[in-house]
Amino acid sequence: MSADSDIRRSIENARDVIDEIDLELVRLLNSRAERAAEIGRAKQGLGQAIYQPDREEVIFERVLGANRGPLDDEAIRRLFERILDEARRFERLKNQT
CA distance 60 to 72: 13
Task: Give this prediction's pTM.
Answer: 0.84
pLDDT tens digits, residue range 2-25? 889 999 999 999 999 999 999 999
Cis peptide before 70 (omega within 30 of 0): yes
Going from the C-alpha of 84 to that of each of 54, 57, 61, the distances in angstroms are: 13, 11, 14
* Number of domains the chain contains: 1
Rounded to whole angstroms, how far apart are CA atoms 21 and 30? 14
Looking at residue 1, its pLDDT comes to: 66
Tell me the per-residue pLDDT of 22-35, one tens digit each, with 9 for 90 and over: 999 999 999 999 99
Question: Which of 37, 58, 60, 40 lies closest to 49, judged by CA?
Answer: 40
Instruction: Find the mean pLDDT for residues 60-85.
Output: 97
Q: What is the CATH number of the domain that holds 82?
A: 1.20.59.10
Q: What is the pLDDT of residue 78?
A: 98
Q: Position 82: which residue type? A: R
Contact predicate 10/64, CB 8 Å: no
User: What residues make up the domain containing 67?
Assistant: 3-96
